[in-house]
Amino acid sequence: MQATAITCAFKKAAVYLRPNISTHYTSKTNPYMNAAELKELQTPIKEKYKEQPDSALITLKAQGNIGEGISCKVDTGRDIVNAGLHPATGGDGMLACSGDMLLEALVACAGVTLKAVATAIGVELKSGTVNAEGDLDFRGTLGVSKEASVGFKQIRLSFDLQTDATEEQLASLAKLTERYCVIYQTISGGTNIETSYKLG
């Protein structure tokens, strides 16, 4: 049987993240940003989103390549990742977007889990790619619209595999990958987050 490229689109995970995680913004050029500066930076963006709601709809993407052994290589473009504001919320694009990092974590975990499961059930993967896409309405995180969710409206995870596996084997591979992928289960299950704050 000749190897064929098979795209396995796992079930779509609709994700709504509650805005209960606080972040602190820093950058190389301005390590301390105050409220007035942040307001000045974001006000024109908020106004744009009020006037043009569609401009706040952006799809983030991440991709990884299944590698040797039980591994998945994810290209972040940075050795040491510094997270900051996405350009859609006033960032300059020089720092990593945490939304991208979430998708990259999903891609990495799903790719590693897929390879581990394939190894365990005897499915040979000649090569493959893992892709994640997430739809965000930035009006939510900027407080422009109460109707806009503060988080990914939907995440799509897909696998493009080069393999001789049968349809039955692929079905098992998909089922077990979803079941044992930590990041997939964490996101799709809507895990509660407990937070605490200490004053120094």
In a domain, 197, yes or no: no
- Residue 99 sits in a domain whose CATH number is 3.30.300.20
In a domain, 33, yes or no: yes
In a domain, 195, yes or no: no
Q: Are strands 96-97 and 83-84 parallel, antiparallel or unpaired?
A: parallel
In a domain, 90, yes or no: yes
In a domain, 77, yes or no: yes
Give the pLDDT confidence of 7-47 residue by residue, as tens digits: 344 433 333 332 222 223 233 445 566 677 777 888 898 89
Segments of the chain assigned E as strands: 4-9, 57-66, 72-74, 83-84, 96-97, 125-137, 152-163
Q: Are 156 and 107 in contact (CB under 8 A)?
A: no
In a domain, 183, yes or no: yes
Phi and psi of 173, rounded to 5°?
-60, -45
How many domains are there within the chain?
1
In a domain, 10, yes or no: yes
Which residues make Cβ contacts (< 8 Å) with residue 149, sequence separation at least 6? 16, 137, 140
Give the pLDDT confidence of 69-112 residue by residue, as tens digits: 665 677 766 555 677 788 888 888 877 788 888 999 999 999 99
In a domain, 193, yes or no: no
Cα Rg of the chain, angstroms: 19
- State yes or no: pLDDT of 53 exceeds 90: yes
**Segments forming the whole domain that contains residue 104:** 4-17+29-188
